[in-house]
Amino acid sequence: MADTLLAPAEAASALTPERPTPRRSGAFATPRDARRYALLVVGLVLVALGLVAAYLLLDNPGRPGSAGYWLVAQRRATSIVVIAVVAFCQGLATVAFQTVTGNRIVTPAILGFEALYVTVQTAGVYFLGVAGLTALSGVPQLLLQIGVMVALAVALFGWLLSGRFANLHVMLLVGVVLGTGLRSVSSFMQRLLTPSEFDVLTARMFGSVSNADASYLPVVIPLAGLAGGALLWRSRRLDVLSLGASAATGLGVEHRRETRIVLTLVAVLVAVSTALVGPMTFLGFLAATIAYQVSGTFSHRHVLPVAVLTAFVVLAGAYVTLKHVFYAQGMVSIIVELVGGTVFLVVLLRKGRL
């Protein structure tokens, strides 16, 4: 479709050679922007591959070729796949969520997903002791957690986005308030834990790649792939949705129905990521903000892949740097949250409109 749109513009530019850079329709204003975008994607892919190599090969304690060496490499390969899944989920979900809500400073994580995750984990330790966390891991339990999160999110959208008084902002705020309520339930339970139980829980309360188990991947990858693929497939509709409700309706997109479909896909992606590794509030925000800054276009077909690549580079980069430069691997999610939070503040203060 883009090619057919481009063709007349290119023909026009051939007829009037004295105009050096004619405006074109399509995702990019000038051919230079399009070239820049292509370079950007290639660059990001190269950086990502470099990070993968560094993550897999640097400081392997085993002798190259020995059994131990391969064991370590295999474990690291699993982690890299987990990072890729999380980056895919968070990058796509945040960009789509921001488009649907018409607001570039929110992330889907604030809709209470994380509070729910923390509540479930805390309740596990509270009612069943440290054994509770073991009882909560495993593929069926993972699926159950994802199912509960998605079901609650869909119920929330269904309730608040239907009827005559549907209002997206009310839905957003209700989600946030639900999260606050859940958080006070879990902080009560945390208060009653013994320090050793609390220590075990702490590991789960912060997002970490080591929370994921290799056996989860065969379940999680198809789920994330389906939901993410559906979002990518709908990227042109997302372009239309970003114009606002009335413009979208005028262009023949059923705004409310489309919004609910996109939100459901977002819910699946965020639930998968949260159930897999735990809370990562600002990763998606960071990725989406950087993606919009660098890609130089608002076309979702182009922004979405950049957001995924950025999320991957940020997360894998944080792991590699913290592991090999500062020897503080456990801090990764907190550092990402800190950087993301700071960027959030800067964006908020520089932005003129919300």
Partner 1 sequence: MMTTTSRPAGTPDADAQTARRRRGVPWLLLATLGVVGLLVASLFTGQYDVVGADDGAWMFAVTRVPRTVALVLAGAAMAVSGLVMQMLTQNRFVEPTTTGTTEWAGLGLLAVTVLAPTASIMARMGVAIGASFIGTMLFFLVLRRITLTSSLVVPVVGIMLGAVVGAVSSYLALATNSLQYVSVWFAGSFTSVFRGQYEPLWVVLLVLVAIVVAADRFTVAGLGRDVATNVGLNHDRVVMLGAGLVAVATGVVAVVVGNLPFVGLVVPNVVALRRGDDLRSNLPWVVVLGVGLVAACDLVGRVVIAPFEVPVSLVLGVVGSVVFITMLVRGRRRG
CB-wise, 106 or 136, nearer to partner 1? 106
Sole binder of partner 1 in the list 206, 292, 312, 319 (CB under 8 A): 206
Q: Judged by CB under 8 A, how many residues of this single chain contact partner 1? A: 48
**Tokens 């390969």 sit on residue:** 77
Q: Which of 20, 59, 191, 246 binds partner 1 (CB under 8 A)?
A: 191
Residue 174 lies near partner 1 (rule: CB under 8 A)? yes
> Contact at 8 Å (CB) between 91 and 287?
yes
> C-beta of 282: minimal distance to partner 1 in Å?
7
Q: Does position 338 bind partner 1 by CB under 8 A?
A: yes
Q: Which of 130, 176, 243, 322 lies at the binding interface for partner 1 (CB under 8 A)?
A: 176
d(Cα 131, Cα 113) in Å, to the nearest integer? 24
Those residues whose C-beta lies under 8 Å from the C-beta of residue 179, and which sit 6 or more positions away, are: 110, 111, 112, 114, 115, 116
Q: Rounded distance, CA 345 to CA 137, Å?
A: 36
If you search the block for the tokens 């004295």, which residue do you land on?
Answer: 18
- CB distance 307 to 95 below 8 Å: yes
Q: Report in angstroms how near the CB of residue 354 gets to partner 1 at its nearest.
A: 5
* Binding flag, residue 202, partner 1 (CB under 8 A): yes
Residues 105-122 as b or e (16 or more Cβ within 10 Å = b):
ebbbbbbbbbbbbbbbbb
Please give the biggest Cα pair distance in the chain: 78
**By the rule CB under 8 A, 157 interacts with partner 1:** no
Question: Is 190 near partner 1 (CB under 8 A)?
Answer: yes
Judged by CB under 8 A, which of 6, 178, 217, 322 binds partner 1? 178
183 in contact with partner 1 (CB under 8 A): yes
CA-nearest of 289, 328, 325 to 307 is 289
- Rounded Cα–Cα distance for residues 100 and 263 (Å): 8
The one among 74, 134, 187, 293 contacting partner 1 by CB under 8 A = 187
User: Using the rule CB under 8 A, is 346 a contact of partner 1?
Assistant: no
Question: Which residues here bind partner 1, judged by CB under 8 A?
Answer: 102-103, 105-107, 110, 160, 165, 167, 169-170, 172-174, 176-178, 180-181, 183-185, 187-188, 190-191, 193, 195, 198, 202, 206, 281-282, 331, 334-335, 337-338, 341-342, 344-345, 348-349, 351-354
